[in-house]
Amino acid sequence: MNLITEAINGDRRAIARVLSGLENRNFSLEQIKVNFPSIFSNQVRENWSSIAITGAPGVGKSCLIDKILIDWSSKGIKTALLAIDPSSPRTGGALLGDRVRITAIDNEKYKDLIYIRSIATRKSSGSAPLIVSDMVEFLSAIGWHRVIIETVGSGQSEVRCAAITDRIVVVEGPARGDGVQAEKAGLLELADAVIVNKSDISGASQHASEIKESFELGLGQTPPIILTSALTGEGIEQASTALLELEDTGRSKKAKWRERLLAEYERKILESDKLDEILEKLAIGSISIKDALKLLGDD
Amino acid sequence: MSEPLRIVVAKPGLDGHDRGAKVVARTLRDAGHEVIYTGLRRTAQQIVETVRDEDARFLGLSSLSGAHNHLFPKVCELLVKEGLDDVIVFGGGIIPFEDRDVLFACGMKAIFGPGTPTTEILDFIIKACEVSNAGVGQNGDWHWESSA
């Protein structure tokens, strides 16, 4: 538990090791809470603490986050970035390359205000979101003002990582034609704000109005829709200020809780002692799926 | 192996050739490890901070510019200075055999030249995990004898 004390005192390596410990299940957040209740008790939570920035690959999430980190650090806000990439389902390995685009941390003035950690979803899609949620809670408790989760908006575990945060921002780009509308629907449903990036390319503002229109057709409040260009800097200041003050639209509450519930349920199954036995019985056909669910539901 | 190893692959200094680094990163990924790639033209300080924040157990340095005997020792020194003496460091690139003893003396545990089979790098990783005191600042006397 020395490690935890060092992390609380701000030692960066200790922080990194605590996050690994949580990730590898060497210890749990509950154990930290029992041993260090004070850091969790006096958390003043003005506004939100964690935000997910999600969207399709290549829309410019990392470049946008880089610009936001620069803006927030210049305001003295300590921000941690958890960048999530999928693990290969075949080998379990992962190539984590989100740091490549983050230049904010290269600035001597800002580097103590920024912590970046790359996270692979690993093999079980159910546990990644809950581990990320533990990490967010720990980082907030030891004094990181804001935690950004960067995920690719595809695949269950990535969407669920987004769903555990206080706010969700969906990043869109121009030239995302009709063919992808269906895929977008699932993600946009969760959005507390939408950023249409690459406003320097034609079609961005048209796409922004299309999104606005589609929200207005539905029920509830339309979230802020902001045009930015991470390349030219257009709209960045407006976006980073808007995100700091972002209100919960309330629209996504049920959808978020659905994702959280599913994640928690999946973890319950994956961590059950009976799982191996049940899988074996299923494989030889001695029980049915319904029996298996009943067995799992017992505890 | 229960948990994947976290490995940083880095390109220090002014050197735009990253094919080798990408091949190594891909090989390690396909062997089931989590590889964090830093991108090009990193300073020693930036690389050490990445290793620290990412809690990496291994660091792979790639250089094809000829400046390896300047850049690699700097990274090793800083790692030790920052208390990351248990990180295992290896390197690759255009690095003549006569330059390598200096690098081993800095605590690096393997240098792979052009033509090294990728499987050899994986064998090195497995071996380095078994050897005690393989960290850059732990003064262990073992290092990998590479084929190229």
Q: Per the domain annotation, does A16 fall within a domain?
A: no
**Preferred mutation among B28, B29, B80, B86 to probe A, highest tally of A CBs within 10 A:** B29
Q: Are B24 and B75 in contact (CB under 8 A)?
A: no
CA distance B62 to B91: 6
Q: Could you tell me which of B114, B124, B112, B108 has the C-alpha nearest to residue B73?
A: B108
Pairing of strands B34-37, B6-10: parallel
> Would you state the pLDDT for residue B36?
95
- Both tokens of A199, joined, read 């406003």
CA distance B128 to B53: 22
Q: Per the domain annotation, does A270 fall within a domain?
A: no
Q: Per the domain annotation, does A241 fall within a domain?
A: yes
Q: What is the ipTM of this complex?
A: 0.90
Say if residue A179's pLDDT is above 50: no
Angle between helices B118-130 and B19-30 (to 10 degrees): 60
Nearest to A100 among B32, B38, B54 (CB): B38
pLDDT in tens, A281-291: 999 999 999 99
Q: Per the domain annotation, does A296 fall within a domain?
A: no
Which residues of A fall within a CB distance of 8 Å from B84? 13
Q: Residue A126 — pLDDT band, cuts 50, 70, 90?
A: low
- CB spacing of B84 vs A87 below 8 angstroms: no
| Count: domains in chain A | 1
A165 φ, ψ to 5°?
Answer: -90, 165
> Would you state the pLDDT for residue A82?
95
Q: Are A4 and A35 in contact (CB under 8 A)?
A: yes
B54 CB within 8 Å of a chain A CB = yes
Beta-carbon count within 10 A of A11 CB: 16
Our CA-based measurement puts residue A118 at a distance from the nearest CA of chain B, in whole angstroms, of 7
Say if residue B1's pLDDT is above 70: no
The residues facing A167 across adjacent strands are: A51
**Helices vs. strands in chain A: H and E counts, helices first:** 13, 8
- CB spacing of B4 vs A105 below 8 angstroms: no
> Would you state the pLDDT for residue A47?
65
High-pLDDT (> 70) share of chain A, % = 88
B119 φ, ψ to 5°?
Answer: -65, -25
Beta-carbon count within 10 A of A10 CB: 12
Burial class (CB in 10 A: 0-12, 13-18, 19+), B111: buried
- CB spacing of A16 vs B54 below 8 angstroms: yes
Q: What is the separation of C-alpha A189 from the centre of its chain, rounded to a whole number of angstroms? A: 16
CA distance B27 to B5: 13
- Strongest mean pLDDT among A29-43, A256-270, B11-25: B11-25
Which domain covers residue A150, as residue numbers? Answer: 43-251
Q: What is the separation of C-alpha A224 from the centre of its chain, rounded to a whole number of angstroms? A: 19
CA distance A130 to A23: 10
A154 φ, ψ to 5°?
Answer: -140, 150
Which residues of B fall within a CB distance of 8 Å from A13? 52, 55, 82-84
Q: Are B117 and B147 in contact (CB under 8 A)?
A: yes
Q: Could you tell me which of A209, A207, A214 has the C-alpha nearest to residue A174?
A: A207
Q: Give the dihedral sign, CA B19/B24/B29/B30.
A: positive
Amino acid at A230: A
How many beta-carbon pairs below 8 A join chains A and B? 76
- Both tokens of B8, joined, read 């940083």
Q: What is the CATH number of the domain that holds A240?
A: 3.40.50.300
CA distance B132 to A255: 50
- Both tokens of A270, joined, read 């994956």
Nearest to B28 among A93, A115, A120 (CB): A93
Q: What is the mean pLDDT of chain A?
A: 85
pLDDT in tens, B66-108: 899 999 999 999 999 999 999 999 999 999 999 999 999 999 9
- CB spacing of A105 vs B39 below 8 angstroms: no
Comparing A193-207, A209-223, A229-243, B72-86, the range with the smallest average pLDDT is A209-223
Say if residue A100's pLDDT is above 60: yes
Which DSSP state fits A246? Answer: P
Our CA-based measurement puts residue B127 at a distance from the nearest CA of chain A, in whole angstroms, of 19
For the whole model, what pTM was predicted?
0.88
A99 CB within 8 Å of a chain B CB = yes
- Both tokens of B68, joined, read 């390896």
Question: What domains are defined for chain B?
Answer: 6-130 (3.40.50.280)
Q: Of chain B residues 30-49, which have a CB less than 8 A from chain A?
A: 30-39, 46, 49
B22 CB within 8 Å of a chain A CB = no
- Based on its alpha-carbon atoms, the radius of gyration of chain B, rounded to whole angstroms, reads 13
Q: Per the domain annotation, does A277 fall within a domain?
A: no
Q: Are A161 and A149 in contact (CB under 8 A)?
A: yes
CA distance A84 to A103: 18
Q: Please work out, in degrees rounded to the nearest 5, the angle formed at the alpha carbon of residue A283 by the alpha carbons of A280 and A285.
A: 110
